[in-house]
């Protein structure tokens, strides 16, 4: 309905513009003099000829009166033709004034048709301009309508896809169900929710797997330790070299088996560390845009970043900021204060929420895998964000510091300055 109204308004405006434009281009038609008014002027001049100083113009026309020697006697308006030659050039009406069959003078009636037509064309031009401005306004309104309901949703979808590709499944796709893409974007957000559920299920399965591995390793280590201890006793009591060698083989294999069990136990903790980090020198000014991208709810005050060259992987650093902001949204849901300082050999980015922080004894565990604060029990999450972020920062020769601030939890992202390694 909105699109139909906008299109109809645009077509009507275009039609009126064409009509006005044609009117302006058409040749002007001659405006005829009012013969009654002209005769009234001549008769009144004849009547007042002997006392023209008392003559009063009772018509809408302007005119000049000349005597028989073409000298101007009176004129009703300055600037009108006051000679026969000018009157002819201007296409004015020239009439003779006769008294007693004697020509005593002439009256030049001013031809104002050009002024009338010029006024009409000015008015038409102004109307044309007004209609054109209305059309421009309608076009701008239509563009804003298209941008709001079609282009901007796709921009949001592009940022959403970037978050999904980066593994950030906690950033919802904000949508307006009133526009034509509402159901379309809702489907993508449902996909994000399902992916998140699958990711959480996977994390729980990994935890269960680790618990199983820990239990099995404990159960295996106990008999292996017993076998090794018995072999060591047997090796001590053995008298023949062959027997001692056999016991030594048992001890060696028991040690190998113990190493394999330890490797099995640590293998799952190392799988996340296979993510590649490519560090290069970059200008710090890109960080401000990265912080804005991470703050998709607009809760943070992003400051100017001191200009310097730093070691960083842009993709991985964006993931670090994404994880920090998502944690703040989930667990604090307050405004976020961001500061940036260059201290010694590092650029420090301070990100503080106003959620009150966590217990002091829990701070040291927040960067560990699957560890979360006690205030996060009622909130959905896997406890991997800060663990991964800490790993990325170490790979970039930087550091991730977590501490309680005056208002809430502070996460300090320390980026190494170029040339300081």
What is the per-residue DSSP string for 195-208? HHHHHHHHHHHHHH
End-to-end CA distance of the chain: 64
Q: Domain boundary at 223, 256, 274, which?
A: 274
pLDDT, tens only, 392-404: 999 999 999 999 9
Asked if the structure places residue 317 within a domain, the reply is yes
Of 274, 307, 337, which one is at a domain's C-terminal end?
274
Dist. CA 248–CA 246, nearest whole Å: 5
CA dihedral in degrees (16, 19, 23, 29; nearest 10)? -120
Answer for the pair 49, 99: CB distance below 8 angstroms, yes or no.
yes
Q: Which pLDDT does position 218 carry in this prediction?
A: 47
* 155 CB-contact burial (10 Å; exposed 0-12 / middle 13-18 / buried 19+): exposed
Closest CA to 63 of 110, 111, 104: 110
Phi, psi for residue 60 in degrees, rounded to 5 = -90, 0
Same domain, 248 and 309: no
Say yes or no to pLDDT of 187 above 90.
no
Instruction: Give the model's pLDDT for residue 382.
Output: 58
- Structural domain range at position 362: 280-416
Report d(CA 107, CA 61) in Å as an integer.
Answer: 12
**Residue-level length of the chain:** 421
As to burial, measured by CB atoms within 10 angstroms (0-12 exposed, 13-18 middle, 19+ buried), residue 240 is exposed
289 and 405 belong to one structural domain: yes
Q: How many structural domains is the chain composed of? A: 3
pLDDT of residue 1: 45
Question: How many C-beta atoms surround the C-beta of residue 396 within 10 A?
Answer: 23
| pLDDT tens-digit map of 254-302 | 877 876 666 565 555 455 455 678 899 999 999 999 999 888 788 999 9
């Amino acid at each position: 309905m909105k699109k139909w109204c906008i299109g109809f308004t645009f077509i009507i405006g275009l039609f009126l513009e064409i009509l006005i434009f044609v009117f302006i281009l058409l040749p002007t038609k001659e405006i005829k003099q009012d013969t009654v008014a002209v005769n009234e002027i001549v008769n009144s001049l004849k009547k007042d000829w002997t006392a023209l100083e008392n003559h009063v113009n009772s018509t809408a026309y302007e005119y000049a009166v000349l005597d028989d020697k073409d000298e101007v006697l009176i004129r009703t308006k300055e600037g009108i033709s006051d000679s026969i030659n000018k009157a002819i050039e201007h296409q004015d009406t020239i009439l003779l004034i006769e008294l007693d069959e004697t020509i005593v003078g002439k009256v030049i009636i001013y031809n104002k048709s050009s002024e009338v037509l010029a006024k009409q064309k000015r008015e038409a031009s102004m109307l044309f301009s007004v209609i054109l401005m209305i059309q421009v306004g309608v076009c701008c309104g239509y563009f804003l309508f298209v941008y709001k309901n079609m282009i901007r949703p796709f921009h949001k979808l592009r940022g959403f896809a970037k978050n999904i590709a980066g593994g950030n499944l906690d950033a919802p796709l904000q949508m307006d169900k009133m526009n034509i893409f509402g159901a379309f974007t809702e489907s993508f957000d449902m996909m994000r929710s399902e992916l998140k559920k699958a990711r959480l299920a996977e994390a729980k399965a990994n935890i269960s797997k680790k618990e199983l591995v820990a239990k099995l390793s404990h159960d295996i280590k106990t008999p292996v330790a017993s076998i090794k201890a018995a072999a060591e006793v047997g090796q001590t009591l053995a008298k023949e070299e062959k027997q001692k060698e056999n016991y030594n083989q048992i001890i060696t294999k028991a040690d190998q088996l113990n190493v394999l069990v330890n490797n099995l136990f640590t293998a799952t903790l190392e799988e996340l560390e296979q993510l590649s980090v490519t560090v290069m020198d970059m200008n710090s000014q890109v960080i401000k845009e990265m912080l804005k991208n991470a703050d998709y709810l607009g809760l943070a005050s992003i400051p100017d970043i001191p200009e310097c060259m730093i070691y960083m992987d842009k993709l991985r650093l964006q993931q670090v900021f994404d994880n920090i902001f998502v944690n703040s949204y989930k667990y604090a849901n307050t405004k976020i204060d961001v500061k940036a300082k260059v201290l010694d050999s590092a650029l420090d980015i301070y990100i503080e929420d106003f959620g009150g922080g966590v217990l002091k004894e829990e701070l040291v565990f927040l960067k560990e895998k699957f560890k979360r604060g006690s205030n996060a029990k009622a909130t959905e999450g896997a406890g991997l964000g800060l663990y991964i972020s800490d790993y990325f920062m170490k790979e970039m020769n930087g550091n991730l510091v977590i501490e309680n601030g005056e208002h809430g939890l502070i996460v300090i992202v320390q980026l190494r300055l170029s040339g300081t390694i």
